[in-house]
Amino acid sequence: MYDANYSEVSQFVFLGLSTSRQVQHFLLPFSTVFYVTIILGNLFVVFTVLFDPHLHSPMYFLLANLSFIDSCLSTLTVPKMISDLYSGHKTISFQGCVIQIFILHVLGGSEMVLLITMALDRYVAICKPLHYLTVMSPRMCILLLSAAWAIGLIHSAAQLASVVHLPFCGPNEIDNFYCDLPQFIKLACTDTYRMEFMITANSGFISTGTFFLLIISYIFILVSVWKHYSGGLSKALSTLSAHITVVVLFFGPCIFVYLWPFPTVSVDKFLAILDFMITPILNPAIYTLRNKDMKIAMRKLSSQLLSLRKMP
């Protein structure tokens, strides 16, 4: 067992995106606008799907769930980053850091499984349209969603269980704006080689594996559309290109953060911006604003909201 004197670090200091006050003041308005847009856009998607009976189908329920997870992911990291940019005071307690890592991996793991579910949904809808309603039944959707959350929880608990007892005796600076495992374990006062390997194997393998699984399934869907109904290819391409864009943008940073072997290059925090600020905006933008049913529903919802306001 480790010496009790070791665990002296009670808080961590984020170095953030930049240590220059000027750059921080420059980034502050941008991140605030992005965050507000993410929350409004994604909540609007969730409410539109929940309140419009025309959108009560698996695809839209999955989209709403994706929007929900995305707003949680942003909320986990961005408000703290904004307040740090504002105040210049960038500490986080040890417990806060551990909780952030835990929730991050629960949400990230669930989002990955949800993206697989969405690909499955598109596969059945496009390649087996006659069986769509029986395969993607409400029960099946709930089952897949519960599986997503369960896998996220197990993945996160398993990783955290192995690092939470590490001794920390300083330094306590994290060159990032949020806590995640690669930087966290590097601060432990022990040889973390095996831990690093475990994290690469767990998070790295899951993100890379899921990424290739998704890309292969989308290629498979496109090829079968192309073979069976050559006329439908452009329509399928336009739907699926949105999914593929989100997949690449979401997984690119994950794979880099967990698999890149040279930790001295701190581009990972800029890549993390993609996951916490860019894909969460893209989801409502490209999945929904390009979708006719969704646009009609949003127009209806907003006119209802407006007429509510006008009532005495």
Least distance CB 148 / ligand NAG (angstroms): 10
Q: How far is the CB of 100 from ligand NAG (least distance, A)?
A: 22
**Which residue lies nearer to ligand NAG by CB, 2 or 68?**
68
Q: Which residues pair with 92 in a beta bridge?
A: 12
How many residues of this chain interact with ligand NAG, rule: CB under 6 A?
A: 10
Residue 72 binding ligand NAG, by CB under 6 A? no
Peptide bond connecting 280 to the previous residue in cis, omega within 30 degrees of 0:
no
Specify the DSSP class assigned to residue 89. -
What residues form DSSP beta bridges with 159? none
Residue ranges in 156-215 that form contacts with ligand NAG under rule CB under 6 A: none
Least distance to ligand NAG, CB of residue 142, Å:
5
Q: Which two tokens stand for residue 183?
A: 């930087």
Contact status: 64 vs ligand NAG (CB under 6 A) = yes
Q: Which is nearer to ligand NAG, 9 or 120 (CB)?
A: 120
Vertex 139: Cα angle to 133 and 145 (nearest 5): 110
Regarding 133 and contact with ligand NAG (CB under 6 A), the answer is no
For 35, the token pair is 């965050």
Closest to ligand NAG by CB, 145 vs 285, is 145
Helix, strand, coil percent content, the chain, rounded in steps of 5: 80, 5, 20
Contact call for residue 244 and ligand NAG (CB under 6 A): no
Q: Is 278 in the site for ligand NAG (CB under 6 A)?
A: no
Burial 299-308 (b: 16+ CB within 10 A, else e): eebeeeeeee
Q: Which stretch binds ligand NAG (CB under 6 A): 46-54, 116-124, 180-188, 231-239?
A: 46-54
In angstroms, rounded to a whole number, what is the distance separating the alpha carbons of residues 215 and 244? 7
CB of 45 to ligand NAG, least distance (A): 8
CB 283 within 8 A of CB 44: no
Q: Give the residue among 74, 59, 79 at the shortest CA–CA distance from 122.
A: 59
Does position 68 bind ligand NAG by CB under 6 A? yes
Minimum CB–partner distance for residue 46 and ligand NAG (Å): 5
Gap between the Cα atoms of 113 and 211, Å rounded: 11
Residue 69 interacts with ligand NAG (CB under 6 A)? no
Pick from 198, 205, 165: which is nearest to 182 by CA? 198
Does the protein bind ligand NAG through residue 145 (CB under 6 A)? Answer: yes
Give whichever of 55 and 236 is closer to ligand NAG, judged by the CB atom. Answer: 55
Residue 47 within binding range of ligand NAG, rule CB under 6 A: no
Measured distance CA(159)–CA(166) in Å, rounded: 12
Under rule CB under 6 A, residue 46 binds ligand NAG = yes
Please tell me whether residue 301 binds ligand NAG under the rule CB under 6 A: no
Question: Can residue 115 be called a binding residue for ligand NAG (CB under 6 A)?
Answer: no
| Shortest distance in whole angstroms from residue 62 CB to ligand NAG | 7
Cβ-Cβ contacts under 8 Å for 230 (sequence gap 6 or more): none
Would you say 67 or 100 has its CB closer to ligand NAG? 67
Beta strands in 153-203 (DSSP E): 173-174
* Footprint of ligand NAG (CB under 6 A): 46, 49-50, 61, 64-65, 68, 141-142, 145
